[in-house]
Amino acid sequence: MKQSIYHVLRGTFLVSDDSFKNWRVILFISGLALIMIASSHNADKKVYEIAHLKNEVKEIRSQFVDGRSRLMRLKMESHVVSVMNKKGLSSSETPPKKIKVTASKKD
* Average pLDDT for 22-42: 93
Q: Categorize the per-residue pLDDT at 95 as very low, low, confident or very high, splitting at 50, 70 and 90.
A: confident
Mean residue pLDDT across the chain: 89
* Average pLDDT for 42-51: 97
* Average pLDDT for 39-51: 97
Q: 0.95 cut: is pTM over it?
A: no
Question: In angstroms, rounded to a whole number, what is the distance separating the alpha carbons of residues 23 and 30?
Answer: 10
